[in-house]
Amino acid sequence: MHIVVTGAAGFIGSNIVKALNERGITRIVAVDDLQQGDKFANLADCEIADYWDKDEFVRALESGKFNGAIKAVLHQGACSDTTERDGRYMMDINYRYTVRMLDFCRSACVPLIYASSAAVYGAQAHCRESGESEGPLNVYGYSKVLFDRYLRSRWEEQTAQVVGLRYFNVYGPREQHKGRMASVAWHFYNQYTTSGRVRLFEGSHGYPDGEQRRDFVSVEDCVKVNLYFLDHPERSGIFNVGTGRAQTFNDVAAAVINSVEAANGNAPRTIGELVNAGCVEYIAFPPDLMGKYQAFTQADLTALRAAGYSDAFLSVEQGVQRYCERLQQRGV
């Protein structure tokens, strides 16, 4: 029996493959689209049993090729570009493909753990896994919430575990291929190590400079949640995956700079000291993001905790330091 990981060469998917390997699991079917060929680097140090292109894979599933051969599907594949405006493409990749995966898993009684997103909440302040909290600001968020709603509408048809994970702002190793869609921690690290300065947005949405707040979560914690549900196939539902604590972009900037400077033997500085030293610069908030920007997100972890997940989540200070140490070692 094999474990299928879709989006296996991507950010979260490749971290899941690596974590499965660390458990001694190598019977992994990796599924992705390697049109962006440099993503191969995320799998280069991983052990897998087979690789399939995403379109060929879903056709093979539906033809019966994998009947009886799959233990579970960890469906991480998606278009995660929140600025993508091609709605047909987004709905095909994020919605319709996931429906096809669900149909197979239900017919084969195979557990499905899939990636949803905190983008479903849009500008809503209360991020709970319920319809009244949902209000996506872009077609990416809509593609994710539409599948969650589709799942809810057919919940009684469940034949095996189905888990949706609404990731908040994820950062960590193996995201280097994402370019402009990589985490702010990645961008801040590269800005600081190349120019000695980090750029943040000026105040907006009622927040002072750099004080917009997001729930920044380490990919390490996202992987742990995936593996928790893989280990507990009796538990199903849609769950937030964040720290449960909103932190500022200033917090991320300070964590990145202080982590880099700690490697040089320098003491940590406050955000005020970093601004005064010219290490942090505030730039105008882009007008085209008005009405499309999440200025505050914070995961409500009530449902996740009720499902039995009790591990603590890394704070920005903890997680970003670990990430920067990896980046400095070039273990991206």
Mark residue 265 as left, alpha or beta (left: phi above 0; alpha: psi -120 to 50; beta: remaining): left
CA atoms within 13 Å, Cβ hemisphere of 114: 25
Sheet holding 112-117, edge to edge: 50-53, 28-32, 2-6, 70-75, 112-117, 162-167, 237-241
Sole residue written with tokens 């905190």 = 118
Query: Between the CA of residue 1 and those of 27, 103, 228, what are the distances in Å?
Result: 7, 19, 19
Give the Cα separation of 9 and 38 in Å (integer).
Answer: 9
Provide Rg for the chain, Cα atoms.
20
Alpha-carbon distance of 132 to 148, in angstroms, equals 13
Q: Which residues are catalytic?
A: 140, 178
Nearest to 293 by CA among 190, 221, 202, 165: 202
Q: At what angle do helices 184-195 and 249-263 cross, to 10 degrees?
A: 50
Give the chain's largest Cα–Cα span. 63
